[in-house]
A and B are shown apart, each in its own frame.
Chain A
Amino acid sequence: MKILFPLLVVIILVGLVFMGVQEANLHLLFGIIIPYVSVTIFILGVIARVVNWSRSPVPFRIPTTCGQQKSLSWIKRDCLENPSNAVGVIGRMALEILTFRSLFRNTQTELKQGPYLVYHEEKLLWLAALAFHWSFLIVVIRHFRLFIEPIPGCLSLLCSLDGFMEIGSPVVFLSGVALLGAVSFLLLRRILSPKISYISLTADYFPLFLIIAIAASGILMRYFVKVDVIDIKAYTLGLLSLHPVIPADVSVIFYIHLFLVCVLLVYIPFSKLMHLGGIFLSPTRNMANNNRLKRHINPWNYPVKVHTYEEYEEHFREKMKQVGIPVEKE
Chain B
Amino acid sequence: MAKEPKPQEIISQINYNPPQKSWMDIPVEMKEGMFCYGAKEKSLQTLDFPNVRSWSVLEEDWKLPEKWDKIVLEGIAERLKKYRSFKIFMDICVRCGACADKCHFFLGSGDPKNMPVLRAELLRSIYRKNFTAAGKILGKLAGARKLTLNVLKEWWYYFYQCSECRRCSVFCPYGIDTAEITIIARELLNLLGLNIEWIAGPAANCYLKGNHLGLEPHTIKNSIDFLVDEIEEKTGVRVSPTFNRKGAEILFVTPSGDLFADPGTYTCMGYLMLFHELGLDYTWSTYASEGGNFGFFTSMELAKRLNTKIYAEAKRLGVKWILGGECGHMWRVINQYMDTFNGPADFLEVPTSPITGTKFENAKSTKMTHISEFTADLIKHKKLNLDPRRNDHLKVTFHDSCNVARGMGMFEEPRYVIKNVCNHFYEMPENTIREKTFCCGSGSGLNASENMEMRLRGGLPRANAVKYVQEQYGVNMLACICAIDRAALPPLMNYWVPGVDVTGVTELVANALVMKGEKKRTTNLRGEDLSVEEKADV
User: Which residue numbers of A lie inside 8 Å of B, CB to CB?
Assistant: 5, 49, 52-62, 64-72, 74-76, 78, 81-82, 84, 96, 100, 102-103, 105-109, 111, 115-117, 119, 125, 129, 193-196, 198-204, 270-272, 274-275, 278-279, 281-285, 289-298, 300-301, 304-309, 312-313, 315-316, 319-320, 322-326
**Stretch from B152-160, B251-259, B332-340, B530-538 contacting the other chain:** B332-340
Q: Is B82 an interface position by the 8 A CB rule? A: yes
Instruction: Check B377 against A72 for contact (C-beta < 8 Å).
Output: yes
B429 contacts across to A, CB distance below 8 A: 119
Instruction: Check B413 against A295 for contact (C-beta < 8 Å).
Output: no
A100 contacts across to B, CB distance below 8 A: 173
B87 contacts across to A, CB distance below 8 A: 52-53, 56
Instruction: Check A194 against B218 for contact (C-beta < 8 Å).
Output: no
- Given A282-B174, A294-B365 in contact, is the A68-B92 Cβ separation under 8 Å? no
- How far apart are B83's CB and chain A's nearest CB, in angstroms? 6
Instruction: Check B409 against A65 for contact (C-beta < 8 Å).
Output: yes
Contact of A275 (CB < 8 Å), options: B141, B174, B368? B174
Residue of A nearest to B372 (CB): A71
**A–B Cβ pairs within 8 angstroms, 12 of them:** A56-B87, A64-B175, A69-B409, A103-B171, A200-B95, A291-B336, A291-B340, A293-B366, A295-B365, A298-B341, A304-B305, A309-B309
B365 contacts across to A, CB distance below 8 A: 292-295
- Given A61-B340, A307-B207, A312-B210 in contact, is the A281-B84 Cβ separation under 8 Å? yes
Other than the known A195-B17, A289-B409, A306-B309, what 5 A-B pairs have Cβ atoms closer than 8 Å?
Answer: A61-B340, A106-B171, A282-B88, A292-B339, A307-B208
B16 contacts across to A, CB distance below 8 A: 109, 111, 195
User: Which residue numbers of B lie inside 8 Å of A, CB to CB?
Assistant: 11, 14, 16-18, 23, 48, 80-88, 91-98, 100-102, 107, 112, 115, 117-118, 121, 132-134, 141-143, 166, 169-177, 180, 207-210, 216-218, 221-222, 243-246, 286-287, 300-301, 304-305, 308-309, 312-313, 316, 334-337, 339-341, 343-344, 358, 360-366, 368, 373, 376-377, 380, 405-413, 416, 429, 431-432, 435-436, 460-461, 464-465, 468
- Given A69-B410, A117-B460 in contact, is the A284-B362 Cβ separation under 8 Å? no
- Rounded to whole angstroms, the CA-CA distance of A109 and B100 in the bound complex is 10
Residue of A nearest to B376 (CB): A72
Q: Is the interface of A mostly helix, strand, loop or mixed?
A: loop
Residue of B nearest to A6 (CB): B141
Instruction: Check A71 against B134 for contact (C-beta < 8 Å).
Output: no
Instruction: Check A296 against B339 for contact (C-beta < 8 Å).
Output: yes
Instruction: Check B92 against A62 for contact (C-beta < 8 Å).
Output: no
- Given A67-B435, A196-B100, A281-B84 in contact, is the A117-B464 Cβ separation under 8 Å? yes
Instruction: Check A65 against B340 for contact (C-beta < 8 Å).
Output: no
Instruction: Check B96 against A103 for contact (C-beta < 8 Å).
Output: yes
Contact of B335 (CB < 8 Å), options: A75, A102, A198, A291? A291
B217 contacts across to A, CB distance below 8 A: 316, 319-320, 323, 325
Instruction: Check B413 against A71 for contact (C-beta < 8 Å).
Output: yes
A75 contacts across to B, CB distance below 8 A: 376, 412-413, 416
- Given A75-B413, A116-B464, A278-B174 in contact, is the A319-B216 Cβ separation under 8 Å? yes
Instruction: Check B216 against A116 for contact (C-beta < 8 Å).
Output: no
B143 contacts across to A, CB distance below 8 A: 201-203
Instruction: Check B341 against A64 for contact (C-beta < 8 Å).
Output: no
A295 contacts across to B, CB distance below 8 A: 339-340, 343-344, 365-366
- Rounded to whole angstroms, the CA-CA distance of A210 and B83 in the bound complex is 33
- How far apart are B188's CB and chain A's nearest CB, in angstroms? 16
A279 contacts across to B, CB distance below 8 A: 92, 173-175
B210 contacts across to A, CB distance below 8 A: 312
- Rounded to whole angstroms, the CA-CA distance of A75 and B373 in the bound complex is 10
Instruction: Check A66 against B173 for contact (C-beta < 8 Å).
Output: no
- Given A199-B118, A272-B94 in contact, is the A278-B301 Cβ separation under 8 Å? no
Pick the most buried of B95, B313, B410, B413: most chain A CB atoms within 10 A of its CB. Answer: B95
- How far apart are B229's CB and chain A's nearest CB, in angstroms? 15
Instruction: Check B301 against A304 for contact (C-beta < 8 Å).
Output: yes
Instruction: Check A64 against B23 for contact (C-beta < 8 Å).
Output: no
- Given A279-B174, A304-B301, A322-B218 in contact, is the A309-B100 Cβ separation under 8 Å? no
- Given A71-B362, A304-B301 in contact, is the A274-B92 Cβ separation under 8 Å? yes
Contact of A201 (CB < 8 Å), options: B95, B132, B341? B95
- Rounded to whole angstroms, the CA-CA distance of A279 and B175 in the bound complex is 8
- How far apart are B394's CB and chain A's nearest CB, in angstroms? 24
Instruction: Check A284 against B366 for contact (C-beta < 8 Å).
Output: no
Residue of A nearest to B339 (CB): A295
Instruction: Check A76 against B412 for contact (C-beta < 8 Å).
Output: yes
- Rounded to whole angstroms, the CA-CA distance of A121 and B296 in the bound complex is 34
Pick the most buried of B86, B344, B409: most chain A CB atoms within 10 A of its CB. Answer: B409
- Rounded to whole angstroms, the CA-CA distance of A291 and B341 in the bound complex is 12
A81 contacts across to B, CB distance below 8 A: 409, 435
B107 contacts across to A, CB distance below 8 A: 109, 111, 117
- Rounded to whole angstroms, the CA-CA distance of A319 and B14 in the bound complex is 52
A316 contacts across to B, CB distance below 8 A: 216-218, 286
- Given A65-B435, A295-B340 in contact, is the A194-B17 Cβ separation under 8 Å? yes
Contact of A282 (CB < 8 Å), options: B175, B344, B376? B175
